[in-house]
Amino acid sequence: MKHAGGEAARQGAEAQAAPALALRKVSMSFGPASADRVVLSDIDFQVAPGEFLCVVGPSGCGKTTLLRLLAGLIRPTGGEILFHGERVEGPSRDRAIVFQDYSKALLPWRTVSGNIALSLEACGVGEPERGRRIGALLAKMGLERAARQHPSQLSGGMQQRVQIARCLAQQPRLLLMDEPFGALDAITRQTLQDEVARLAAEHRMTVVFITHDLEEAIYLGDRVIALTANPGRIAEMIDVGIPRPRSQLETREDRRFLSHRHRLFGLLQGH
Amino acid sequence: MRRFLRGIAIPALAVALWETGSRAGVLPMDTFSRPSDIAVAFAGAFADGSILVATWQTVEAALAGFAVAAALGILVGALLGLSPALERVVGPSIDAVRPIPSVALMPLTLLLFGFGLQMEAWVVAFACVWPVLLVTAAAVRGIEPRLHDVSRTLELPFASQLRRIILPAALGRIVVGLRVSVGISLVVAVTVEIVINPRGLGYGMIIAQQSLHPELMYAQLFWLGLLGWGLNVALTRAAGRWHAFAGADAEV
Amino acid sequence: MRRLPQLQWLGAALFAAALLIAWQLLAERQIISPVFFPSPSRTLGELWRQAAQGELWKPLGETSLRMFYGWALASLLGVVLGAAIGSSRAAREFLGPLLEFLRPLPASAIIPPAILFLGLSNEMAVAVIAFGAVWPVLLASVHGFASMEPQLLEVSAALRLSRAQSLAKIAIPGALPEILAGARVSLAISLILAVVTEMQASQPGLGQNILLAQRSFRSPELYAGVVTLGLMGFLINHAILALERRLLRWRAAPA
């Protein structure tokens, strides 16, 4: 893999060329005018195509709101969001979102295959191509044996895999993940972290990954944005600078990893 | 086994007392009749098919009314559930019409349609539409917002959303509403027959009573009880199987 | 969606008004038959006439009285039987299946036997109403008493309350929410059966009025009667809801 500095420089050049995401002075408030609750304020950053961006922050700092804005499920009260140069006006198949509460985001009455099929049906993919793609995704996410089971019969980790598979079926250019592994046990979490990192690299997807886990953010991200709460503002943007592929054991002991962790910890503690 | 015997004990005792009391002349025959006579009348009504014809007439009306109510109730309920604005505008009008006792509409439908299947079916429809409508609206309204997000992200057109996500998600609760409605349909149909409409089991009972055949009346009453009970059991069984199939999410 | 509640009410009122106006126009232009669908103005006019000339109140009172007697009887029976059955396992086993069989029976099916015994009389009506209206209260009571918080039973035992005291201080208040909900359904059923029995037995009341109106094709009277019954249904439902709210103030707001 290229040296960290070169990597960052190349990404910087790409970002100049055509950012996948550009947020310009984005702010978000809720509530009737007089009693507005400002959740996000003055959010301004860019994401290069193929970049893996992590966003960390304490609870209530507006991370989920930010993700929903990027998905187009809500519109910002101030500023604008550009996706590959075009204004984000609403949700799109191009920007897939993996929700935190996976059990609620899957269709309980469909099997695993059926859930994945939903995305393909929406994209207008007919048989036999549909069956082929489902098979490929099941294999990729290790879900072959669960193909005919219903979500309620699966563990949390498996359900989350199904959700990811369903999102991948959309063939999105942007993958948004809202604390996807928060409810899972440590081992499953680490396995899925590595899987997501591998998928992102393989498909060259742009990823925006929300988490409250600092180490997860540093481990997965090319860059990490730290948000503070009330209102949500960008406190810091850190270039992780650790080459890929990364490993759970070694990367976490890397001195760069530790220094970033130190820095972020201090930042978030202070608020 | 013991539970069955205990459950049967009191009714069996009552029937025995009834029979002996009647034979002893303590219970007047013209009002109480006699279990043995009732059994004979029961068998006879089946033999000549009269009770089956009457049953079909009642069921026909109940089914027709229920079908209309289910279709209307689900359609309007879904629309109201999907659009809070629509519900706010239309809701109060529905709340104003809903408390009208369905039986109060009997003279009205009689005026409009005369005696027969139609007037009965319409009364049944009026009575049955409200549970379905309200439950459907609540079910559609209460669909997991996450699923809504998913369908928006997938850019599903409305018809597709309805078919793939909204109706399946709401189906569990809608089925509960339908179950209630089915029960109501039978009750209302019989009521219309007893009071005005000359067809079906209800009318059969009135005729039996008026023509001084109490044993036939009681036989029909027993049959009606059996029908209602059987329907209830069938619906509860079906509901149980439905829940097993659709998973825990269909509950509530 | 920052709409004021007043605006919502306006929208709802406009919708209802639009429906009535449409009906009025259709009836006046004779597009729909005024015999079968009298215009709202004629219906309301008739209703007003009945109210002003005192013709409304007697039948209204008769129906209401019948309904209340039947309902009161049903409620009393329902609570007493419910308490007995709910608190006794043996009772549940012996009577359960019988009740399960009787419950789905249409109450109106009891009318022919009731006529046999009591003739076409007010007593018949009250008996039928009571039979039909007892079920919701009975079932609610059985459930309410059977599913009492076990800790409360232990508290009652610890305090060494007598059977009667336990019943009055713990069992009944505990089961009250369910009983009241059952009573509300019971009252609705009572109204329906009151109307049914009036029509059947030619007893004076609102039910008989609309039946007579139908026979002589006096449709404004018919519709006026239907509207009156609708209003009655609406009012009694809300009356019990208000009663529930008052008596059950201690209940935490539902999730």
Domain with A211 in it? 4-94+173-269
Nearest CB among C15, C210, C237 relative to B104 is that of C210
Question: Is B246 in contact with A108 (Cβ distance < 8 A)?
Answer: yes
CATH number for the segment(s) B34-250: 1.10.3720.10
Nearest CB among A99, A122, A152 relative to B146 is that of A99
What is the percent of chain C with per-residue pLDDT over 70, rounded to a whole number?
93
What's the pLDDT score for residue C67?
93
The structure tokens listed for C124 are 């018949």
What's the pLDDT score for residue A35?
65
* Band of pLDDT at residue A34, cut at 50, 70 and 90: low
What's the pLDDT score for residue A31?
78
Confirm or reject contact between B94 and chain A (CB < 8 A).
no
DSSP-derived secondary structure for C64-82 = HHHHHHHHHHHHHHHHHHH
> Which residue's structure tokens are 């229920």?
B66
What's the pLDDT score for residue A194?
92
Q: How many inter-chain contacts (A to B, CB under 8 Å) are there?
A: 65
Work out the number of other CB atoms within 10 angstroms of the CB of residue A31.
11
Q: How far is B159 from chain A (nearest CA, A)?
A: 12
Question: Is C116 in contact with B214 (Cβ distance < 8 A)?
Answer: yes
User: Exposed, middle or buried, B94 (CB in 10 Å: 0-12/13-18/19+)?
Assistant: middle
DSSP-derived secondary structure for B20-49 = HHHHTTSS-HHHH--HHHHHHHHHHHHHTS
The structure tokens listed for C6 are 């007043």
Of residues A153, C35, A91, the one with CA closest to residue B146: A91
DSSP-derived secondary structure for C24-64 = HHHHHTTSS-TTTS--HHHHHHHHHHHHHTTTTHHHHHHHH
Tens of pLDDT along chain B (252 residues)? 777 787 788 888 888 888 888 888 888 887 888 888 889 999 998 888 889 999 999 999 999 999 999 999 998 998 899 888 898 889 888 988 998 989 999 998 998 898 999 999 999 999 999 999 999 999 998 888 889 899 889 998 888 888 888 888 888 888 888 888 998 999 999 999 999 999 999 999 999 988 888 889 999 999 998 998 888 888 888 777 766 655 444 433
Asked if residue A100 lies in contact with residue A182, where contact means CB atoms within 8 angstroms, the answer is yes
Nearest CB among C9, C15, C200 relative to B90 is that of C15
Q: What is the mean pLDDT of chain C?
A: 84
Question: Is B150 in contact with A105 (Cβ distance < 8 A)?
Answer: yes
Q: Is C27 domain-assigned?
A: no
Nearest CB among C95, C107, C109 relative to B205 is that of C109
How many structural domains compose chain C? Answer: 1
Q: Is C21 domain-assigned?
A: no
If asked whether residues A177 and A162 sit together in one domain, one would say no
What is the percent of chain A with per-residue pLDDT over 90, rounded to a whole number?
42
| DSSP label of A246 | P
* Band of pLDDT at residue C105, cut at 50, 70 and 90: confident
Task: Tell me which amino acid residue C198 is.
Answer: E
Q: Is C218 domain-assigned?
A: yes
Domain with C73 in it? 40-247
Question: Is C234 in contact with B202 (Cβ distance < 8 A)?
Answer: no
What's the pLDDT score for residue A180?
92
Report the helix count and the strand count for chain C, using DSSP H and E. Answer: 11, 0
What's the pLDDT score for residue A270?
62
Q: Is C18 domain-assigned?
A: no
CA–CA separation, C36 and B181 (whole Å): 28
Question: Is A73 in contact with B248 (Cβ distance < 8 A)?
Answer: no
Q: How far is B239 from chain A (nearest CA, A)?
A: 16
Chain B's closest residue to C111, CA to CA, is B194
What's the pLDDT score for residue B247?
47
Chain B's closest residue to C103, CA to CA, is B229
Q: Which of A171, A192, A227 is the last residue of a domain?
A: A171
pTM (two decimals): 0.76
CA–CA separation, B227 and C253 (whole Å): 40
**Which residues of chain B are within 8 Å of residue A93 when distances are taken between CB atoms?**
153-155
Highest mean pLDDT of the ranges A136-140, C81-85, C151-155, C165-169: A136-140
If asked whether residues A155 and A108 sit together in one domain, one would say yes
Q: How many inter-chain contacts (B to C, CB under 8 Å) are there?
A: 162
Asked if residue C189 lies in contact with residue C227, where contact means CB atoms within 8 angstroms, the answer is no
Question: C52-66 burial string, b = 16+ CB within 10 Å, else e?
Answer: eeeebeebbebbbeb
Question: Is B250 in contact with A109 (Cβ distance < 8 A)?
Answer: yes
What's the pLDDT score for residue A69?
92
Confirm or reject contact between B160 and chain A (CB < 8 A).
yes
Q: Is C65 domain-assigned?
A: yes
The structure tokens listed for C117 are 């015994």
Asked if residue A151 lies in contact with residue A115, where contact means CB atoms within 8 angstroms, the answer is yes
Confirm or reject contact between B86 and chain A (CB < 8 A).
no
- The full set of domain ranges for chain B reads 34-250
Question: Is B152 in contact with A73 (Cβ distance < 8 A)?
Answer: yes
CB neighbour list of residue A209: distance below 8 Å, 6 or more residues apart: A52, A53, A54, A55, A177, A180, A196, A217, A220, A221
- Say if residue C254's pLDDT is above 80: no
pLDDT in tens, A168-205: 998 999 999 999 998 889 899 999 999 999 999 888 88
The structure tokens listed for C250 are 């201690």
Asked if residue B168 lies in contact with residue B150, where contact means CB atoms within 8 angstroms, the answer is no
If asked whether residues A182 and A52 sit together in one domain, one would say yes
If asked whether residues A177 and A163 sit together in one domain, one would say no
Q: Which of A146, A171, A196 is the last residue of a domain?
A: A171
CA atoms within 13 A on the CB side of A71: 26
Chain A's closest residue to B167, CA to CA, is A109
**Which residues of chain B are within 8 Å of residue C96 when distances are taken between CB atoms?**
7
- Say if residue C96's pLDDT is above 90: no
- Say if residue C160's pLDDT is above 80: no
Nearest CB among B149, B155, B249 relative to A122 is that of B155
If asked whether residues A164 and A262 sit together in one domain, one would say no
- Say if residue C3's pLDDT is above 60: no
What's the pLDDT score for residue C157?
72
Of residues B139, B138, B231, the one with CA closest to residue B183: B231
pLDDT in tens, C175-220: 888 888 888 889 989 999 999 999 988 888 998 989 998 888 888 9
Chain C's closest residue to B195, CA to CA, is C200
If asked whether residues A184 and A244 sit together in one domain, one would say yes
CA–CA separation, A72 and A95 (whole Å): 8
Q: Is C2 domain-assigned?
A: no
Of residues B197, B199, B181, the one with CA closest to residue B67: B181
Of residues B161, B156, B155, the one with CA closest to residue B143: B161
Phi, psi dihedrals of residue A83, rounded to the nearest 5°: -115, 110
pLDDT in tens, A225-259: 998 877 788 888 999 888 888 888 888 888 999 99
What's the pLDDT score for residue A12?
53
* Band of pLDDT at residue A17, cut at 50, 70 and 90: low
What's the pLDDT score for residue B163?
85
The structure tokens listed for A59 are 């609870």
Asked if residue A271 lies in contact with residue A235, where contact means CB atoms within 8 angstroms, the answer is yes
The CATH number covering residue C112 comes to 1.10.3720.10
At B175 the three-state DSSP class reads helix
In chain B, which among 171-230 make CB contacts under 8 A with chain A?
Answer: 171
Q: How far is B145 from chain A (nearest CA, A)?
A: 8
**Which residues of chain B are within 8 Å of residue C211 when distances are taken between CB atoms?**
106-107, 196
C-alpha distances (whole Å) from C144 to each of B225, C87, C147, C173, C178 are 26, 10, 6, 10, 6
pLDDT in tens, A52-94: 999 998 877 788 899 999 999 889 988 999 999 899 988 888 8
Question: Is B228 in contact with C210 (Cβ distance < 8 A)?
Answer: no
Nearest CB among B147, B152, B247 relative to A91 is that of B152
User: Exposed, middle or buried, B27 (CB in 10 Å: 0-12/13-18/19+)?
Assistant: middle
Averaged over C83-108, what is the pLDDT?
A: 83
Q: In what order do the strands lie in the sheet with A21-30?
A: A37-47, A21-30, A78-83, A86-87
**Which residues of chain A are within 8 Å of residue B169 when distances are taken between CB atoms?**
107, 109
CA–CA separation, B18 and B11 (whole Å): 10
The structure tokens listed for B16 are 């025995």
What's the pLDDT score for residue A3?
44
**Which residues of chain C are within 8 Å of residue B221 when distances are taken between CB atoms?**
105, 109-110, 112-113
Best B4, B111, B134 member to test C by mutation, with max C CBs in 10 Å, is: B111
Q: Is C152 domain-assigned?
A: yes
Q: How far is B126 from chain C (nearest CA, A)?
A: 13
The CATH number covering residue A21 comes to 3.40.50.300
Which chains contact A through at least 3 pairs of Cβ atoms less than 8 Å apart?
B
* Band of pLDDT at residue A9, cut at 50, 70 and 90: low
The complex's ipTM?
0.81
Of residues A167, A146, A148, A168, the one with CA closest to residue A157: A146
The structure tokens listed for A80 are 């604008």
CA–CA separation, C107 and C197 (whole Å): 11
Nearest CB among A101, A104, A170 relative to B154 is that of A170
How many structural domains compose chain A? Answer: 2
Asked if residue C148 lies in contact with residue C171, where contact means CB atoms within 8 angstroms, the answer is yes
Q: What is the mean pLDDT of chain A?
A: 86
What's the pLDDT score for residue B125?
96
Question: Is B154 in contact with A118 (Cβ distance < 8 A)?
Answer: yes
What's the pLDDT score for residue B56?
94
Question: Is B104 in contact with C229 (Cβ distance < 8 A)?
Answer: yes
Work out the number of other CB atoms within 10 angstroms of the CB of residue C88.
14
CA–CA separation, C224 and C222 (whole Å): 5
Phi, psi dihedrals of residue A63, rounded to the nearest 5°: -60, -50
Of residues A60, A80, A2, the one with CA closest to residue A233: A60
User: Is the CA virtual torsion C225, C230, C236, C238 positive or negative?
Assistant: negative
Question: Is C97 in contact with B190 (Cβ distance < 8 A)?
Answer: no
